């Protein structure tokens, strides 16, 4: 037979067994609540926007070129100055054109004098012809002489007008209000008509921004454009403090196959000239305005086998899994199309330890980001 355990050893073994098993009369201990941060489901107006990189361009860019040959005498503005329409900008030596005008005016006066004599002679010959004192040939010659001089006078008048026009081209005025650029030719140099670029003037307001939108947004772009409600926004200082809104007034008629994008242009008032031609700026195109949308922080979304879901806080401090569908994303939030109600609370931090029905301890309650 085996040896019997001593009473002391038996007591020790029984004590150790009791400690190992524990007292099971109260059942298993429940897990502690999971600390979480929650955010309220907000209901507010939102705008669905798409972002692009745009290029600022002037509506009117004028290359100032002379319309006559000559020597540049003076420049009447500074580089980079604000220019008003009708302002004198350049002067070309007018003396050759003043001389030409005087010559043509003199030719006109000469032919006018000859015409008066010829008309008087034609009138006298006509009277004599009726009385039979001159031949028909002499009568016709007098009439032809008068007609020829009338044509010469008309040509002289046209030549005078042309000389005046050429003289006027010696003074170059601003055709639009805008900003002057660099002056390329300085006084003393010879300029050639329709060839030498003297400077450029860019209209500053209104001004345009050109940018490209995705082909996938084309249907909604055209729908908004048809209603005249397609607008874009830009922050010229790129700090979010100043936002300018412009109206999209150009949608290209072709989608670029190489990029899958379509060119759009929006016009901005730019009264304070915060937008400058040639700038590259982020542009937001407003595709849709929703007056009452459900908004939650993007971090509340979880991805499961059935799609997107969130943990919704219950009145008894438990959470329930709720499947949701998302309409579109905002900066740090999402617009929920279905699955939530206004005023509910969803978990935004601590989801990794949660299961459906888990108890939670709310450490902080937040709201969604305010609208921009």
Average pLDDT, the chain: 88
Report the CATH number of the 50-59+206-291 domain: 2.40.30.170
In the block, tokens 């195109």 appear at 285
pLDDT digits (tens, 9 = 90+) for 41-66: 999 999 888 889 999 999 999 999 99
- Is residue 2 over pLDDT 80? no
Highest mean pLDDT among 16-30, 236-250, 307-321: 307-321
* pLDDT tens digits for range 270-320: 999 999 999 999 999 988 888 899 999 999 999 988 899 999 999 999 999
Higher pLDDT, 120 or 10: 120
pLDDT value at 18 more than 60 = no
Give the model's pLDDT for residue 370: 56
HEC profile for the chain? CCCCCCHHHHHHHHHHHHHHHCCCCCCCCCCCCEEEEEEECEEEEEEEEEEEEEEEEECCEEEECCCCCEEEEEECCCCCCEECCCCEEEEECCHHHHHHHHHHHHHHHHHHHHHHHHHHHHHHHHHHHHHCCCCHHHHHHHHHHHHHHHHHHHHHHHHHHHHHHHHHCCEEECCCCEEECCCCCCCCCEECCCCCCCEEEECCCCEEEEEEEEHHHHHHHHHHHHCCCCEEEECCCCCCCCCEEEEEEEEEEEEECCCCEEEEEEEECCCCCCCCCCCEEEEEEEEEEEEEEEEEEHHHCEEECCEEEEEEECCCCEEEEEECEEEEECCCEEEEEECCCCCCEEEEECHHHCCCCCEEEEEEEECCCCCC
Angle at alpha carbon of residue 164, lines to 160 and 169, rounded to 5° = 145
pLDDT at 353 over 50: yes
pTM, whole model, 2 decimals?
0.70
Burial tier of 188 (Cβ tally within 10 Å: 0-12, 13-18, 19+): exposed
CATH fold label, 34-44+292-366: 2.40.420
pLDDT at 36: 95
Closest CA to 333 of 306, 288, 371: 371
> Which tokens hold the place of 113?
């004098």
Pairing between β-strand 307-313 and β-strand 319-323 as defined by DSSP bridges? antiparallel
Can you tell me the distance from the alpha carbon of 278 to that of 296, in angstroms, rounded to the nearest whole number?
38
State whether CATH 2.40.50.100 applies to domain 61-90+173-202.
Answer: yes
> Can you tell me the mean pLDDT for 222-231?
83
Distance between CA atoms of residues 369 and 156, nearest Å:
78
pLDDT of residue 41: 95
| C-alpha 224 chain-centroid distance | 16
* Domain pair 34-44+292-366 / 50-59+206-291, same fold: no
The pLDDT value recorded for residue 16 is 47
pLDDT over threshold 90, residue 241: no
Looking at the predicted structure, is the pLDDT value of residue 15 above 70? no
How many angstroms separate the Cα of 285 from the Cα of each of 53, 206, 207, 248? Answer: 11, 18, 17, 9
Domain ranges of the chain: 34-44+292-366, 50-59+206-291, 61-90+173-202, 95-168
pLDDT for res 49? 86
CATH fold for the domain made of 95-168:
Helix Hairpins (1.10.287)
């Amino acid at each position: 037979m085996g040896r019997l355990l001593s009473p002391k050893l038996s007591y020790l073994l029984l004590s150790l067994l009791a400690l190992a098993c524990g007292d099971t009369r109260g059942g298993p201990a429940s897990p502690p609540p999971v600390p979480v941060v929650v955010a309220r489901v907000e209901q507010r107006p939102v705008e669905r926007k798409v972002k692009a990189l745009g290029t600022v361009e002037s509506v009117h860019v004028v290359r100032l070129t002379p319309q006559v040959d000559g020597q540049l005498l003076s420049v009447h503005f500074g580089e980079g100055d604000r220019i008003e329409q009708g302002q004198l900008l350049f002067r070309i030596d007018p003396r050759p054109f003043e001389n030409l005008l005087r010559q043509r005016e003199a030719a006109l006066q000469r032919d006018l004098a000859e015409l008066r004599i010829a008309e008087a002679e034609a009138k006298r010959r006509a009277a004599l012809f009726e009385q039979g004192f001159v031949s028909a040939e002499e009568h016709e010659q007098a009439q032809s002489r008068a007609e020829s001089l009338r044509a010469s006078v008309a040509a002289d008048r046209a030549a005078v007008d042309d000389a005046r026009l050429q003289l006027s081209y010696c003074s170059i005025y601003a055709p639009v209000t805008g900003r002057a650029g660099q002056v390329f030719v300085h006084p003393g140099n010879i300029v050639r008509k329709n060839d030498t670029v003297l400077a450029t003037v860019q209209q500053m307001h209104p001004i345009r921004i050109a940018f490209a939108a995705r082909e996938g947004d084309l249907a909604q772009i055209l729908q908004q454009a048809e209603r005249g409600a397609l607008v874009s926004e830009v922050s010229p200082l790129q700090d979010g403090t100043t936002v300018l809104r412009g109206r999209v007034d150009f949608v290209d008629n072709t989608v670029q196959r190489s990029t899958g994008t379509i060119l759009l242009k929006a016009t901005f008032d730019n009264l304070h000239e915060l937008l400058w031609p040639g700038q590259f700026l982020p542009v937001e195109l407003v595709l849709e305005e929703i007056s009452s949308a459900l908004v939650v922080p993007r971090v509340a979304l979880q991805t499961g086998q059935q799609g997107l879901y969130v943990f919704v806080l219950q009145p008894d401090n438990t959470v329930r899994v709720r499947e949701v569908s998302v309409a579109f994303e905002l900066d740090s939030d999402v617009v929920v199309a279905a699955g939530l109600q206004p005023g509910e609370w969803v978990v935004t931090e601590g989801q990794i330890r949660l299961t459906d029905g888990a108890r939670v301890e709310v450490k902080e309650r937040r709201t969604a980001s305010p609208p921009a």
